[in-house]
Structure 1
Amino acid sequence: MSIPQSGGGPIERPEQLAEFLAKGCKPKENWRIGTEHEKFGFVTADHAPLPYAGINQIMTRLIDRFGWSAVTEGDSLIGLKRNGANISLEPGGQFELSGAPLENIHQVRDELQNHLDEVAAVTADMGVGFMGIGAAPIWSEAAMPVMPKGRYRLMTDYMGRVGTHGTQMMYRTSTVQVNLDFGSEADMVQKMRVALALQPVATALFASSPFFDGALNGHRSWRSRIWRGLDDSRTGMLPFAFDPGFGFQRYVDWVLDVPMYFVYRDGKYIDALGQSFRDFLKGQLPALPGEVPTLSDWADHLTTVFPEARLKQFIEMRGADAGDQAHLVALPAFWVGLTYDQTALDAASDLIKGLNAETREGLRVAASEKALAGEAGGVKLHQLALEAVKIAEAGLIARGLGEEIFLQPLIENVQKGEVQADRLIAAYEGEWGRDLTKVYAATRL
């Protein structure tokens, strides 16, 4: 989840909305890699979710020992920042590192290792652990702590009105994503289409959430299933992105039709649930009558849509479950390989060109249910993943930085036809003797 955005002053022309996105265009030499990952904290003595008091203590120690700066909301410590990176809190206390914009996957690996080392150092005497897994395997919603952030209080109420799984997403899921740049509108369009069409492959390759409410849930990625029951107005595969003429303005038009959550003013979240940003542009927002939005308000609103690939001034790849350390690094390696080399990007475009909207959506469902064993519209996810990983590997090799080594977990997944979720299920049915508490040690970062 995002922190308040800084976008700019008053919106005086409707064209500024698309122009804001277009400002993300960068020459290739300035393209960067920003990786975000979430993890569940737990108390090792009884496997209870880590309460805010414990999270606050961890963040305070990180400030004292490692030079992080505090991010506050009111009197509450809600995050940290340092050298372009942020640590933030998800609604149920998921501890998120939003990494700095980096040049290559080796730096991503080092950043992740440094973060885990720092967290381990400050929690050594606390009896605390962290899990890399896509959904909380045992905890009930009632057991989850609630973080002191106004945005989440508003969202929690709204989620219960517009879907069936919204609060499950907020409080009991964890993801890993990568944020990538584009060079032009045409480059953005090509990357968005590849990103959307291949998110089911990422969901399958990184699936790690086969347990929920203390039992098997019938899916390999329950996190992905949750997103399909959240809020159809702001989620999904964006079939319009594959229509002729798609570009910045068409994405703006879609976002404008998504109901608002809030407006951020003077350190507080003002309830604008269900209201229209189009009305806001006219000075007719019920929450702030007579006031027109700023570009910062627009940047905030862009963070309240949750498609499988999200466009801001970069593209967010959002389809993967959190997982073990190797998979946390493999996710940016996969997407960088597919999109940062033009030959690879063209090959990926060829790979997806025969997939229609029905097949893309069918693959999304199949990936959540069966991971690499899924299929839809005559397309087998295992074969699609095999080809995508090959293209990603070639793209990384072409970069000449030795980054292809970070794809090894995915290469092994496609060779064996199994993913993290399959191995967790096998352990649960076998060596764990159906004792699901073993999952805390098995997924500990």
Structure 2
Amino acid sequence: MSIPQSGGGPIEHHDQLAQYLADGCKPKDDWRIGTEHEKFGYDKAGLMPLPYDGPCGIKAMLDGLREGFGWDPVEEDGKIIGLVKDGANVSLEPGGQLELSGAPLETIHETCDEVNSHLKEVQQIADKIGAGFIGLGAAPIWTHEQMPLMPKGRYKLMDAYMDTVGTHGKQMMRRTCTVQVNLDFASEADMVQKFRVGLALQPVATALFANSPFFNGEENGHKSWRSRIWRNLDDARTGMLPFVFEDGMGFERYVQYALDVPMYFVYRDGKYVDALGQSFRDFMKGELPALPGEMPTQSDWGDHLTTCFPEVRIKKFMEMRGADGGPWRRLCALPAFWVGLMYDQTALDAAWDLCNGWDAQTREELRVAASVDGVSAEVNGIKMMDVARECVAISKAGLAARAKTGNGGLVPDETHFLNALEEVVETGHSPACELVHKYRDEWGGDLTKIYDEYSY
């Protein structure tokens, strides 16, 4: 989840809303890669999720990272709830999932170095306090009641609201993890093309990275239960956004969508003011019930944009949001996959050619099928494995064309970061398939063995 936005004066006219998004446009040489990934922490002694307080808890983790590695604390109501350093931040998801929101970097080589450095820091502190961390799309065993709610005002509001708008919102908050990448766009037209490709092919990422076949201590019948959860969370702010593929799509059209997403809060003086279900359109008129007479600021608009949860979303950059959290090497494969597709124009055009004939129903059916069957999914004669294989090939060509070297020039490009995905399309087995095989054949139905084998 995002931290509160800061800066920016009052919004005095409607055009500023679209301009806020357009201000993210950058020339290609300035495009960067921001990788975010979440992981579950647990007490090694009892294999239970970490509480906030205590010697083996989230606060102890954050304090350890702060003291040991020079991170600066982020506090709310006197409690440490995050860390910042060198353009990156460590934050807490509602159930205590630890998230790294990486700095904007130029290459996947740098991104992977950042991921590796972060996980080594986490491992060092976790070992000291008796904790472990694991990368999965959904908590395999823990119940809702066993997952603590972190002491953040935003989460308290959301937790109370979720049951009024869907059936799976609290599962998302406390018991899921994702890996995503944030990408830049050059212009409105570039944003639109990337948005369409990103949405249409997001089910492919879901299938390739599917890693949540367990929930409540048993198989759940899905390769990606995390993706299943998002389908019954809150229809007003999730989904595949069919309007993105319609004529007239642009920054202003996204503004109109976001204005129709009910509000959660307004952040004032370090506090989250309850605006649940209220309208940003009313806020623009000075008629928000939560703050009568007040007009919104640009940071209020930025905060509101973080409460839209479609499969792809834009702020001043674009977020690819469809993948399960996973093991170490896949945390680098996800940004590599999308950078290869998006940051080379030939690759982007090829990706659009692959999916531009799909209608809204096909895209939605692919989304559903990806969560259930992963790379084995088939919709209207479209075989997910065939599409995934083509996407990985296009991405690899895009990364080769970028020719971003690593290791002092010894590594010629970024294509090797796709190795994990090439294995999936060669074998037909996603991480979820491997987990189910282990559970049935090697672990004898003992799901607790997942912690020994798959923790970082």
Partner of 1:52: 52
Q: Does 1:355 align with 2:358?
A: yes
| Equivalent-residue separation in structure 2 for 1:216 and 1:8 (angstroms) | 48
Percent pairwise identity: 65
| Equivalent-residue separation in structure 2 for 1:125 and 1:254 (angstroms) | 47
Partner of 1:398: 401
| Equivalent-residue separation in structure 1 for 2:375 and 2:51 (angstroms) | 36
CA shift at 1:61, angstroms?
1.4
Q: Does 1:229 align with 2:232?
A: yes
Partner of 1:269: 272
CA shift at 1:139, angstroms?
0.2
Q: Which amino acid aligns with 1:52?
A: Y
Secondary structure at the aligned position of 1:141 is classed as: coil
Q: Does 1:42 align with 2:45?
A: no
Partner of 1:432: 443
Partner of 1:81: 84
Partner of 2:159: 156
Partner of 1:244: 247
Q: Does 1:30 align with 2:60?
A: no
| Equivalent-residue separation in structure 1 for 2:68 and 2:206 (angstroms) | 37
CA shift at 1:6, angstroms?
2.0
Deviations 1:328-382 (A, max 9, x none): 1000000000000000001001011111100000000000000001121221111
Partner of 1:172: 175
| Equivalent-residue separation in structure 2 for 1:119 and 1:218 (angstroms) | 32
Secondary structure at the aligned position of 1:162 is classed as: coil
| Equivalent-residue separation in structure 2 for 1:363 and 1:439 (angstroms) | 29
Partner of 2:409: none
Q: Which amino acid aligns with 2:163?
A: G
Partner of 2:121: 118
Equivalent residues of 1:181, 1:315 under 8 A apart: yes
CA shift at 1:126, angstroms?
1.6
CA shift at 1:251, angstroms?
0.3
| Equivalent-residue separation in structure 1 for 2:132 and 2:174 (angstroms) | 18
Q: Which amino acid aligns with 2:425?
A: V
Q: Does 1:412 align with 2:423?
A: yes
| Equivalent-residue separation in structure 2 for 1:377 and 1:245 (angstroms) | 28
Partner of 1:442: 453
User: More deviation in 252-261 or 119-128?
Assistant: 119-128
Deviations 1:58-104 (A, max 9, x none): 11111111110000001110000000000000000000000000000
Partner of 2:16: 16
Q: Which 4+ residue blocks in structure 1 deviate beyond 3 angstroms?
A: none
Partner of 2:407: none
Unaligned runs of 5+ in 2: 405-412
- Find the partner of 2:69 among 60, 66, 70: 66
Equivalent residues of 1:41, 1:131 under 8 A apart: yes
| Equivalent-residue separation in structure 2 for 1:123 and 1:367 (angstroms) | 34
| Equivalent-residue separation in structure 2 for 1:148 and 1:124 (angstroms) | 24
Partner of 1:290: 293
Q: Which amino acid aligns with 1:42?
A: Y
User: Counterparts in 2 of 1:339-350, with a 5 A limit?
Assistant: 339-350=342-353
Secondary structure at the aligned position of 1:39 is classed as: strand
RMSD after superposition: 0.6
Equivalent residues of 1:7, 1:299 under 8 A apart: no
CA shift at 1:166, angstroms?
0.1
Partner of 1:5: 5
User: More deviation in 142-151 or 118-127?
Assistant: 118-127
| Equivalent-residue separation in structure 2 for 1:285 and 1:304 (angstroms) | 17
| Equivalent-residue separation in structure 1 for 2:254 and 2:128 (angstroms) | 48
Partner of 1:145: 148
Equivalent residues of 1:41, 1:50 under 8 A apart: yes
Secondary structure at the aligned position of 1:10 is classed as: coil
Q: Does 1:253 align with 2:262?
A: no
CA shift at 1:116, angstroms?
0.9
- Find the partner of 1:98 among 98, 101, 121: 101
Equivalent residues of 1:139, 1:214 under 8 A apart: yes
| Equivalent-residue separation in structure 2 for 1:269 and 1:123 (angstroms) | 31
Q: Which amino acid aligns with 1:47?
A: L
Unaligned runs of 5+ in 1: none
Secondary structure at the aligned position of 2:389 is classed as: helix
TM-score w.r.t. the length of structure 1 is 0.99
Partner of 2:190: 187
Deviations 1:106-137 (A, max 9, x none): 01110011001111222222211001000000
Secondary structure at the aligned position of 2:181 is classed as: strand
Secondary structure at the aligned position of 1:436 is classed as: coil
CA shift at 1:7, angstroms?
4.7
| Equivalent-residue separation in structure 2 for 1:308 and 1:174 (angstroms) | 14
Q: Which amino acid aligns with 1:362?
A: E
| Equivalent-residue separation in structure 2 for 1:187 and 1:201 (angstroms) | 21
Equivalent residues of 1:7, 1:298 under 8 A apart: no
